């Protein structure tokens, strides 16, 4: 998004979660936001979900519980690259980069659950938490 939606009015952005709820609403100006996820484009093989994201280190689909990464950056290209890289790296390895680079990032993880419906948790970096939230009307 370039600039403001209209004078003195920020763009209002919702970041979708795998449960289709919108856990995060942001007000942004001149922002570049990219998301990568593995919860929509999957197939089931022998009862196991297989992601479309391939770990280049192994040549196999990712298998960790990070299901979505959203990155806000001054460059759209780098936001997209970071989001995809984080999806391959997983949460623990990604957190080191997020902290070193002071990136505004939101991760969605599949939580261990005994329920029939999957449960998700959201992790946000300090830079993400500092972003202006959308105010309820």
Beta bridge partners, 60, equal 55
pTM (global) more than 0.85: no
* Domain region containing 48: 31-129
Estimate to the nearest angstrom the gap between the alpha carbon of 59 and the chain centroid. 23
* Count of domains for the chain: 1
Beta bridge partners, 42, equal 51
Read off the pLDDT of residues 118-131 as tens digits, 9 standing for 90 and up.
788 889 999 988 88
Question: Do the domain assignments include residue 9?
Answer: no
Read off the pLDDT of residues 2-45 as tens digits, 9 standing for 90 and up.
555 666 666 666 666 565 554 556 777 677 888 887 766 667 77
Helix or strand or coil: residue 2?
coil
- From the list 22, 27, 28, the residue with the least C-alpha distance to 108 is 22
H/E stretch holding 50 reads: strand 48-51
Question: Do the domain assignments include residue 22?
Answer: no
Read off the pLDDT of residues 45-54 as tens digits, 9 standing for 90 and up.
776 777 888 8
Question: Do the domain assignments include residue 62?
Answer: yes
Question: Do the domain assignments include residue 119?
Answer: yes
pLDDT beyond 80 at 114: no
Read off the pLDDT of residues 74-95 as tens digits, 9 standing for 90 and up.
898 999 999 999 999 999 999 9
The domain that holds 89 is classified in CATH as 3.10.520.10
């Amino acid at each position: 998004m370039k600039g403001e939606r209209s004078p003195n009015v920020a763009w209002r952005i919702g970041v979708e979660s795998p449960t289709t709820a919108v856990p995060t609403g942001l007000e942004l100006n001149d922002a570049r936001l990219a998301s990568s996820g593995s919860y929509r484009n999957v197939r089931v093989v022998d009862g196991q979900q297989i992601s479309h994201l391939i770990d280049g280190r192994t040549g196999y689909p990712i298998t960790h519980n990070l299901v979505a990464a959203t990155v806000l950056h001054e460059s759209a290209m780098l936001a997209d690259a970071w989001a995809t890289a984080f999806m391959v790296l997983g949460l623990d390895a990604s957190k080191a980069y997020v902290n070193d680079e002071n990136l505004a990032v939101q991760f969605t993880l599949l939580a261990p659950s005994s329920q029939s419906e999957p449960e998700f948790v959201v992790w946000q970096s300090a830079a993400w938490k500092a972003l202006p939230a959308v105010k309820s009307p």
